[in-house]
Every structure is written in C-alpha cells, then in structure tokens.
Amino acid sequence: MKKLFSLFLVFSLIFALAACSSTPAAAPTDAPTEAATDAPTEAPTDEPTAEPASAGSDVAAKTKLVVGTSADFPPYEYYDGDKIVGVEVEMMEKIAEKLGMEFELVDMSFDTIIAAVTSGKVDIGMSGFTVTEERKQNVNFSVSYIKAKQSIVVPEGSPIATVDDLYTEGATYAVGVQNSTTGDLYITEDVETKGLKLDIQRFTKYPDIIAALKSGKLECAIIDDQVAKAFVEENPELHLLDTAYADEDYALCMSKDNTELLAQIDKALEEMIADGTMQAIIDKYIK
C-alpha cells in the first residue's frame, strides 16, 4: 500500500512538473513534455512520456519539434494574448505540416537560443536570426526566407537624424540594443575599433528597450526594420530613421549534428518560397 502511495506521489509530481513547465504551444499537443522548459528541470527517472529534444536525434522517429524563440519581435513572433503568433510562427506551422510533425514553441531570451540549439535543448532556433559567419561556426542555418535591415529608432525631436550622427566624434549617445543581436554586435565592434564614445546599453527583451526610449533613459535603439516599424506604430512618440544600418537575411538555425532535419526544413522552405506560400504569410503581417 505504501509502495502504491509513493508511486502515486511520483506520478503526481511528474504531472505537476510537466504542468508548471508547459509554455504556450502554437500547435496542440496531447502529451506534456519536460523538454520544453526555459530552465532545465530535473527529469523524473521513469517518466513515460518524456521525449527530450536532442540534437542529432533521429528525425524519422521524432514526432514533435521543439522550437526556441524570443517572442518579443513583432511581426515575426509576439504575443497576442497568451498565444505566440507572427510570420515565423505561421511559417513553422506550414513547415511542421509538411514534415508531418507537431511543434512546440519555447519562449526564451534571445541570447540563450543558440546555446539551447547546440546543446540539444531545442531542435530549432526561430527568432528572426540573421545569418552571420560567426554564428555559422556554431550552428547550421536553413535557406533564408526574409530580408531585413538594422535600423535606428529615436524619440520624436531627437538630435539624431542619420546613422552618421552616431559616428560623429565625441558623440556619447545612450544606444539600446537587444543582447547578442547583430545590432549589438555591429555597434559594439564599431565602438571598440573606431574608438566611439557611445554608451551601449544591452537589454534582454525589446519592450524594455521601448520603455527606456520613452522614459529618456535611451537616446536611440538599434532594431530590425519591420520590428522597429511595429513598435513605432504602437508608440507615436517614437520615430524611425530612414537610413538603414545594415542589410541582413533571416534563417532558422539548427545543431550542426542535425543535418537530416536541416535537409527536411530546407526542402519545405524551398517549396514554400517557390509556390508563394512564404510571401503570402509575409503579406498577411507586413503591409
């Protein structure tokens, strides 16, 4: 009897753990998974439904993709109520459909996604990832599906009118970036190599950058163009400069061990690009 009771306890604990760690899923799932947590939980030993995401795992045997994202990036991935929606979310819905798989989104901070991909905590990083040579050393990128630019957002009435103003001698502007994004990497490199005096402030999530711009704590922010546009539309006291800072391509990233998944994702994406599905999704969100 005692044994039965402790078994019951173990199962309740497993269930409670799974329930606590569940994150908004874009596709309905019928089994809670302890793989989809931002912070690793101690996995109960004989959890029957546990199916941790693991890089290099056999794609054919997998039924669910765990996708790491930073859902602070409208129109690509953002919250509508408690649901994560956006261009890349719809794109992933279509990809998963083509692969005959479910997928589950895990909202995490942007600067932890690549490590989550390389360690196998998530199968895919989907977060408006710009393809860069440095990142390619650690992860594989899919074919790219969106072109973007880094751009600059300032409060209305700002003395900063062009990108060049950040580069004038003696400029000490407080510049906000999301930690580890290309905006961060480019400006940090320029400050280091060109001896700029800018005060770079790094944030984990974009809404905090927007709040800091509005409160005057930041004098500008470097944000991907469509995302900047979305935030400026919501915040009329902010303004988007016309001059772009850098051109980029977005792609999904995966573990270097998972070449089979990469091939499948590329095939799906190539079909979606060729038959106009991708453009239709983009047009739905970006006017």
Q: Which is nearer to ligand ARG, 32 or 125 (CB)?
A: 125
Q: Which is nearer to ligand ARG, 173 or 206 (CB)?
A: 206
Q: Which residues bind ligand ARG (CB under 6 A)?
A: 70, 72-73, 77, 110, 127-130, 178, 181-182, 224, 248
Task: Report, in Å, the least distance between residue 81 CB and ligand ARG.
Answer: 18
Task: Report, in Å, the least distance between residue 56 CB and ligand ARG.
Answer: 24
- As a three-state string, the secondary structure of the chain is CHHHHHHHHHHHHHHHHHHHCCCCCCCCCCCCCCCCCCCCCCCCCCCCCCCCCCCCCCHHHCCEEEEEECCCECCCEEEECCEEECHHHHHHHHHHHHHCCEEEEEECCHHHHHHHHHHCCCCEECCCCECCHHHHCCEEECCCCEEEEEEEEEECCCCCCCHHHHHCCCCCCEEEEECCCHHHHHHHHHHHHHCCCCEEEEECCHHHHHHHHHHCCCCEEEEEHHHHHHHHHHCCCEEECCCCCEEEEECCEEECCCHHHHHHHHHHHHHHHHCCHHHHHHHHHCC
Task: Report, in Å, the least distance between residue 280 CB and ligand ARG.
Answer: 22
Q: Which is nearer to ligand ARG, 198 or 221 (CB)?
A: 221
Task: Report, in Å, the least distance between residue 281 CB and ligand ARG.
Answer: 17
Q: Which is nearer to ligand ARG, 110 or 173 (CB)?
A: 110
Q: Which is nearer to ligand ARG, 77 or 123 (CB)?
A: 77
Task: Report, in Å, the least distance between residue 50 CB and ligand ARG.
Answer: 28
